[in-house]
Amino acid sequence: MTIAKDKVISVIYELKTDPSGEIIEKAVNGTPLTYLCGAGQMLEKFESNLMGLKIGDAFDFKLESADAYGEASEQAVIDLPKNIFEVNGELDTEVIKEGNVVPMQDSSGRRMNGIVLEVADTTIKMDFNHPLAGDDLYFKGEVIEVREASEEEMKAAYEPQGGCDGGSCGSGCSC
C-alpha cells in the first residue's frame, strides 16, 4: 500500500534547519509521527514529498521556508495591553516573562502561541510568528506504516470541532 489521500501514515524522522546542523525534532519507532494524509494536519509540501512511498521507503528532502512556515513577519510582533494578562489585578510573572511561550486565542477563537519578547510598564511585546518561520526544513526518515483510516479517524479529521450539525457545515459530513 502506498501513501495517498485518506491513508493513515506513520513515519520516523529527524528534522533540521541546516543539513549539517543539530536535530531540532525527532520522531522515533516508539513514538512515530502518525497522521491522516490529505486532512490538512501536515504541511502540504511535507505530504507531497511522501506521496507514493510505501512501508520501508526512506525519504530525505528539503522544504523551502515559503513551503513550510513562511517568512518571519514584522506584523506578527505586537504590543498588547499588560492588563489582559492579569488575573485579579496581578500579573503571573512565572508565565509572563521574556522567552516564555504563552498559548492564546485570536478574536476568531483560533489558537496560537506567542513568545514574550518584552514586559514593559503597560504593554507586553509578543511574537506570534511560528518558531520555524524563515527557516528551511530538512527532513530525513522512513515510512513505517501505511494503512486504511478507520471511520472514527476520518470523522475526527474532517468533522468540525464542535461536531456535525446535520451536514450543513460544508465539510461534507452526513451525520
Q: What is the CATH number of the domain that holds 85?
A: 2.40.10.330
Q: What is the CATH number of the domain that holds 51?
A: 3.10.50.40
- Domain assignment present for 149: yes
- Domain assignment present for 2: no
Q: For 35-52, what is each residue's pLDDT tens digit?
A: 999 999 999 999 999 999
157 vs 36, higher pLDDT: 36
- Domain assignment present for 173: no
Eight-class DSSP state of 19: T
- Domain assignment present for 172: no
Q: Phi/psi of residue 8, each to 5°?
A: -85, 125
**CB burial class (10 A; 0-12, 13-18, 19+) of residue 125?**
middle
Average pLDDT, the chain: 90
The predicted structure's pLDDT at residue 124: 96
- Domain assignment present for 164: no
The predicted structure's pLDDT at residue 119: 95
Could you tell me if 60 and 78 lie in one domain?
Answer: no
**C-alpha closest to that of 11 among 148, 139, 132:** 139
Q: In the predicted model, what is the mean pLDDT of residues 53-66?
A: 97
Instruction: Report CA-CA distances (Å) from 92 to 84, 96, 124.
Output: 11, 6, 13
Structural domains counted in the chain? 2
pTM over 0.85? The answer is no
**C-alpha closest to that of 69 among 35, 46, 99:** 46
- CA angle (137, 140, 132) in 5-degree steps: 20
Position 166 confidence tier, pLDDT thresholds 50, 70, 90? very low
Could you tell me if 17 and 54 lie in one domain?
Answer: yes
